[in-house]
Structure 1
């Protein structure tokens, strides 16, 4: 089994439309310096002597600076499921062995790895209040999706050009920022200007149309959104996430997105009915 260590702890979404740009040399140097520093304080608290604790410790032996978002029993006996940067890893209960990749249940025809990932995405996105998002939606939406967006990405612009049709399909789009060129970029500063504008919706529309958005500084959530995207494992934009935490392909035409959300709702309803007996 080929493992990319420690780079394996940074997930890659193949379905997103615009790839994240490589970090500039200065940013890479800063990352390398940070990697040699002390490990960050963990938000996850587990008993070090437990199987969960051994799994977390095994991951930190690979990369002491990584932050584990979730750990718990895996669907396969003898392993713990660990979620890091939008990626699922399976660590043996004794902390010795690690498996990387999706776990597919052939009988149920389900990707069991996606179940844990969806829970983590949902929990992380719950930390972002609606006031920190830019929302385009009908008065009473049937569905609401979170979209990590960039003002320079071609498919992000295409999605926004069709925003009225998404709304007509009953879909509310809640944008969060992911300037894929990174914190030191003009792209990042433009998105800060958008989130600091008096009319954020118009500023975002202007920026995606290639118009200049007047520079403005304020306390804004762009850096927090960017960090959140990295924790989720985002590597490109747009990234669409349904209310239950399910990741959808990067760009979908309005009718296709509505159909996908209808299918997801139906499948979730069937699963709930099965659990309820």
Structure 2
């Protein structure tokens, strides 16, 4: 049998196969387009997720659902609980969501927004483990009044209004809420004695050393909050005082940042506060709960 006699048949089959592949590609493109086009809006998606949750978790009260901010995850608020669910309402995630680009604990920040009096404890360190997790020593209960007299001066960075009410602030330069608090402290026109601690591990400690050893630590502090590490990243003798800050924070149950201490009486506020709250705290005579 001559091969050339069957070449038209082979060409026809090849053309058919090409057409089939072209159709499959078009179908695949349509499928991807359809998936990305549905649902039409975050609000309609949230409604669909809410309906699915009613069927799958009928005894769980749902306060709010937000499907507009966290990529493929929808945030679900249920009383004092925060969890995440995928857009199909099949996979539910309970735990901390961390924004790698902004270097912040999204879950802790959101919980603090929902309840400003909540201590955002257990923030994950750079290694990925949360403080107080499995195989960790349980963290001490947070103290509401402390004695600041044992802290060395070398571990402090002073800024703000020198004539204002003095606050000692324990912070981490990689903490988003510490950055926001710095702005509110400036608005409140108070005297700030900032003491860095390393909630986010080795990277935070390195940044703290660079700031406290800078020629102008106060200027370096604000630059660090703006995401600009000090140009001279060398350590110095003052860096040893950061150990005292760390030890003091651990001894008093400061497991998250920021922590605000009123210098005149040692009264403690945990977490971010706005300028108005800081002013009230400055004027008050009592510590926690204000």
Under a length normalisation based on structure 1, what TM-score does the superposition of the two structures give? 0.52
What is the deviation of 1:25? 8.4
User: What is the rounded CA distance, in whole Å, between the counterparts of 1:163 and 1:14 in structure 2?
Assistant: 18
Change (3 A) 1:27 1:249: closer
Please tell me whether residue 20 in structure 1 is matched to residue 123 in structure 2.
Answer: yes
The alpha-carbon deviation at position 137 of structure 1 amounts to 3.1
Confirm whether residue 195 of structure 1 aligns to residue 212 of structure 2. yes
Once the two structures are TM-superposed, the CA of residue 256 in structure 1 deviates from its matched residue by 1.4
Which of 149, 157, 162 is the equivalent residue of 2:184? 162
CA distance change for structure 1 residues 249 and 25 in 2, over 3 Å: closer, same or farther? closer
Structure 2 unmatched ranges of 5 or more: 1-115
What is the CA deviation profile of residues 21-62 of structure 1, one whole-angstrom value per residue up to 9, with x for unaligned ones? 24748999xxx8xx9xxxxxxxxxxxxxxxxxxxxxxxxxxx
The 2-side partners of 1:261 and 1:199 are apart by 27
CA distance in 2, matches of 1:230, 1:14: 20
Change (3 A) 1:22 1:186: closer
CA distance in 2, matches of 1:23, 1:253: 27
Q: Distance in 1 between matches of 2:195 and 2:140?
A: 18
Aligned residue-pair number: 166
Gaps spanning 5+ residues in structure 1: where? 1-12, 36-62, 67-83, 88-113, 269-277
TM-score scaled by structure 2?
0.50
CA distance in 2, matches of 1:247, 1:21: 23
- Counterpart of 1:140 (choices 157, 160, 163) is 163
Structure ranking higher on relative contact order (CA contacts 8 Å, 6+ apart)? 1
Q: What is the distance in 1 between the residues matched to 2:119 and 2:197?
A: 13
CA gap of 1:23–1:199, structure 2 versus 1, over 3 A, is: closer
What's the CA shift for 1:131? 4.2
Q: 1:26 to 1:19 in 2, by over 3 A?
A: closer
**Structure 1 residue runs of 4+, over 3 Å off?**
16-19, 22-28, 84-87
Say whether the 8 Å CA contact 1:17–1:251 is kept in structure 2: no
CA RMSD of aligned residues (A): 3.2
Q: Deviations over 1:104-136 (max 9, x none)?
A: xxxxxxxxxx7xx52xx22xx211244431112
Deviations 1:50-107 (A, max 9, x none): xxxxxxxxxxxxx9xx9xxxxxxxxxxxxxxxxx9455xxxxxxxxxxxxxxxxxxxx
Match of 2:276 in 1: 255
Instruction: Identify the match of residue 257 of structure 2 among 227, 230, 237.
Output: 237
1:151 to 150, 153, 173: 173
In the other structure, the counterpart of 2:195 is 176
Shift in CA distance, 27/149, structure 1 to aligned 2, threshold 3 Å: closer
